[in-house]
Structure 1
């Protein structure tokens, strides 16, 4: 998503790319009636079991980041799994390697906080972080901290 801030003669903009934040308190797992959405306590990854999913979209409606999505052709919800299979093999998640600007990193949150001490967990364009405590750090542009951003579809 692209957002515009400010006004002439001081306009600004910023981009936000959000996937599942593998939150510490994921709203999606709390409402799933079948247990299809579950947080792995060892890895912190919020996983989805396609076999258990009934496609009710409770998880999608509960997520403030709108990340679980109904796949209509399958009749189930799916979401980012942080490429857990790649991580198990010692590889990066695909999004990290595919990002052309190398703007994405992954790792243990404490390690990333040490590496990026100025990073924050929320910006004005995102839901209040206290809802789910997302496992997310943002090296935000100044414009991403301004109030009242306007979303543009570019």
Structure 2
């Protein structure tokens, strides 16, 4: 499984844009709205290579998560619960070969046996502060 440090506050995808001779990475407002980040703080940033197909799935996921209001939670609690069933899009593969999906606030869900581009229905089996582990319960939920 992928090891995710407890100090991870947020994980999201964003393009790098040139503005007046400098390069800018725009932080989605949802990261500040959900209190994963604060506008007045300084953060360490890691840049990970991402397949170009991830961008469109991230935009779709962002739109879906904006329109889905879940049960009220404390600001930094995981946005999923054990036993919860949901549809996700697998964006990439982790170091151990497991599929990785992101849900609200960039929260990472690791799905055993999933591949990038898969859109399975999953059940959350284990929830930790910065990552959850899930299994596929229906792999035929491909919505194109």
**Greater RCO (CA < 8 Å, at least 6 residues apart):** 1
Q: Which has the larger radius of gyration?
A: 1
Return the TM-score normalized by structure 1: 0.29
The structure richer in helix per residue is 1
Q: TM-score, normalised by structure 2?
A: 0.31
